[in-house]
Amino acid sequence: MKARHALVVAFLVSLAAAPAYAHHSFAAEFDITKPVRLLGKVTRIEWTNPHTYFYLNVTGANGKVTNWAIEGASPGALSRRSWDKDDLKVGDTVVVEGYRAKNGSNTANGRRVTLPDGRSLYGGSPGDGGPDDDGTDQGNLPATGTGK
């Protein structure tokens, strides 16, 4: 009976730990020494927890198009910064300033995203320890133009 109880407790603890495992610090995945500035067309948007993602087709100097995954904060954190789910649409051209993934993939953390209407919004996760993170929803970016 004690073994069964221990198994049930272990299972419940593992379920509780799953969301914590899914969330990571900036430094765990992204390289502060590899800043990127990307201009591209949005090809897909995933407005889901624990992180939002959108994907950009970026044309390089050689004319080759590369698809990049851009990680952002959770939908709730972005909403508190005046992001609306409909602000970013497939086909929009945006500018992303962020940092490349440590694994060298075409993945970046979008710290600042400039939308087609000219607004520039903070996309990092509050408390992730990355650049411009001051622990608040707004981050520490000057003149982010979050008002609509």
> Which of 44-53, 57-66, 120-129 is the least confident region?
120-129
**From CA 145, how far away is CA 127, in angstroms rounded?**
21
27 or 104, higher pLDDT: 104
Average pLDDT over all residues of the chain: 78
Supply the pLDDT for residue 145: 43
23 or 64, higher pLDDT: 64
Helix, strand and coil percent figures for the chain, each rounded to 5 = 20, 35, 45
Supply the pLDDT for residue 120: 86
Does the pLDDT at position 39 exceed 90?
yes
**By the 8 A CB rule, do 92 and 86 touch?**
no
* Percent of all residues in the chain with a pLDDT value above 90, rounded to a whole number: 43
Q: Which residues pair with 59 in a beta bridge?
A: 65
Beta strand 107-114 pairing with 65-71: parallel
Supply the pLDDT for residue 141: 56
> Which of 93-102, 120-129, 137-146 is the least confident region?
137-146
For tokens 């939308």, the residue is 115
Tell me the Ramachandran region of residue 116: left when phi exceeds 0, alpha when psi lies from -120 to 50, beta otherwise.
Answer: alpha
Compute CA 123 distance to the chain's CA centroid, rounded to the nearest angstrom: 6
User: CA torsion 19→134→124→64, rounded to 10°?
Assistant: -140
| Superfamily of 24-148 according to CATH | Nucleic acid-binding proteins (2.40.50.140)
Task: Give the pTM.
Answer: 0.74
Q: Which of 52, 34, 50, 46 is nearest to 106 (CA)?
A: 34
Does the pLDDT at position 142 exceed 60?
no
State pLDDT tens for residues 83-120: 888 899 999 999 999 899 999 999 999 988 999 999 88
By three-state DSSP, how is residue 137 classified? coil
